[in-house]
Amino acid sequence: MVILWASVEKRIAKKLEGIVTKHQSSVNFQNLIRDLADMYPFEVPEVIIVELVANSLDAKATRISIDFDPEKRILSVEDNGQGMDESQFDEYHDFAAGLKRRGTGIGFAGVGAKISFNVAERVVTQTRSKLFEGGSDWRLETKKELVWEEIKPKELKGHGTRVAVYFKDKVKLNYGTTETLIALLRRHYLPLMDSKFLKLYSKMTQVSYSNELRFVINGVTIEPFLIREEFALEKVKELFPERRGQLYGYGIMGIADKDYPFAPETCGILLCTYGKIIKGELFNQFPGEFGPRLFGVVEIPGLVNFITTSKTEFIKSRKHREFEKLYGPIRSEFRTWLKELGVEIPEEVKTQEAKRLERELKKILDDVPELGEFFGFRDKKKILSQNKNGHVNTVTEEGVERTFPDGEGVRGKTPGPLDAGDEPGERLVSNRDGEKRAAPISRTSRRGPKISFAEVPDRNELAWVEGGNIIINSGHSVYRKVQSNNTARRLHNLFSIGSAIQRFLGSEAEKPDLMFVDRMMAAWGHK
């Protein structure tokens, strides 16, 4: 606190001496702002609003005002949040900081302002927190010179931050009215306008948004509504996913009264984290005639740890098992709900052929380490197992994970492991005297490749990823063509597995590994 006040006093002293503090932004800013823009799947004017609102939410604002003057072409976003301290204010203007500091929320320091210079000529920022207040007039003096000058935050009445973006004349904007701004906000932050979701956020420790959070668009306050009523949903199902007895999310899904009720060509379940919509999902299902009318929203704060740099998509391949613990139960609920609606879900069949394929994959782990990462192999561990005579022996198992009481599951509510185990197990625990004894574990959970078959003739994929599983399409024309020849069928199945994993990993990589299937098949060929 002393350091903060000292730095504030230095700034005040400079102003009293009549020194105008002017800063030159990095000479590489042009490349950076282009790179930032390329990360997003929507236009820069839309990105600006999304990122500025994200910063306001991270600052624990309860009121976020968005105003746009179409004649002057000025967009302003103002909040009553915590405001920036001096170090945050400096980082806000620092292009070198870029996206280095991820933070725990859904925004990054200054991205909304920085990316603005793709389409704007000036950004005026004002902020006030408990121990700091400041402002900047950030502008392009020439095409290659970007400077910012410190100003006083005259337009702010209390704590918070205000950012005004002055757009260039020739830039096309996809908002110009109150209605288009509200529609844009709904596309990205719909759950924050639902009264039931707001109550959830106010109770969840990870997020802790206020139940009083309100958006004000051109002076019009958006009062909370119920998604169920707003989209006229029928056959509604609510989701209350739990882990270790704790609610880790909330969701609602139903059938709307019209096709694509949320946005053109958008249907399915909107997966959200911290109130921000990341993507829509049908979880690899084909709901038939219901498809265009299916709509739902699911909030899972824990998924914030798996979103991309631009926070517009989930990265499933990193920490895949951890991701599946949050994502998998939602997919399972969705499939169950579809069955209740009468949608035919392809049955997954576990066969001897699938078990043989799993054993083949284990043989090539050393040569293709991505397989181990994908399927969640664990290091070998020693566990205690009881033999036929009742004696407890120490055995080494591959892919065994401790479960209840130390692992997943809640007594009396859910089974021990999230992945079904197939043997009872025990672990060593120490008592006060240092003696070791066997304490029971409900069951062990085996990790490793999981292969199954499903007959889906109307799908073009040879195989696909679902959770930690690979499902081979036994209804595919190629599978039918080779099924009577054991060698050809084995080659087809291994190739199908490789292509499914390559698509899965490649869809999330900056530079997809286009040789994954080749490497996997070569490794198998040498065994």
Predicted confidence at residue 359, as pLDDT, reads 87
For 44, the token pair is: 């820069």
The per-residue pLDDT for range 333-350, each reduced to its tens digit, is 999 999 999 888 877 788
* Model pLDDT, residue 26: 62
Per-residue model confidence (pLDDT) at position 167: 96
Please give the backbone phi and psi of residue 502, each rounded to the nearest 5 degrees, phi first: -60, -40
What is the model's pLDDT at position 423? 40
Q: Which pLDDT does position 463 carry in this prediction? A: 92
Pick one of 3.10.28, 3.40.1350, 3.30.2010, 3.40.50 as the CATH number of 352-374+449-525: 3.30.2010
Q: Residue 60: its pLDDT value, please?
A: 93
- Tens of pLDDT, residues 366-425: 888 778 767 765 444 444 455 556 555 555 444 434 333 333 333 333 332 333 333 444
d(CA 156, CA 164): 12
- Per-residue pLDDT, 221: 97
Domain boundary assignment for the chain: 2-176, 189-212+219-340, 352-374+449-525, 379-446
Instruction: State the pLDDT at residue 294.
Output: 94
pLDDT under 70: residue ranges of the chain:
1-20, 26-27, 97-105, 316-318, 373, 376-448, 508-510
Specify the pLDDT at position 374. Answer: 72
pLDDT on residue 403: 39
- Structure tokens that stand for 35 in this block: 């790179």
- Residue 248 has a pLDDT of 87
CA distance linking residue 105 with residue 53, whole number of Å = 12
The label of the residue with tokens 């757009």 reads 167
Q: Given the structure tokens 């596309």, which residue do they identify?
A: 187
Are 104 and 304 in contact by the 8 Å Cβ rule? The answer is: yes
CA distance 481 to 484: 8
* Domain 189-212+219-340 -> CATH class: alpha beta
pLDDT at 205: 75
pLDDT at 194 (0 to 100): 96
Beta partners for 239?
251
**Whole-model pTM?**
0.75
- The reported pLDDT for the residue numbered 406 is 37
Spell out the residues 6+ positions from residue 78 whose beta carbon is closer than 8 angstroms to its own. Answer: 64, 65, 67, 156, 160, 161, 162, 163
Long-range CB pairs of 259-268, under 8 A, 24+ apart, other chains included: 259/292, 259/293, 260/292, 261/231, 261/232, 261/293, 261/295, 262/187, 262/190, 262/231, 262/295, 263/187, 267/291, 267/292, 267/293, 267/294, 267/295, 268/294, 268/295, 268/296
The architecture CATH gives domain 2-176: 2-Layer Sandwich (3.30)
Measured distance CA(268)–CA(251) in Å, rounded: 12
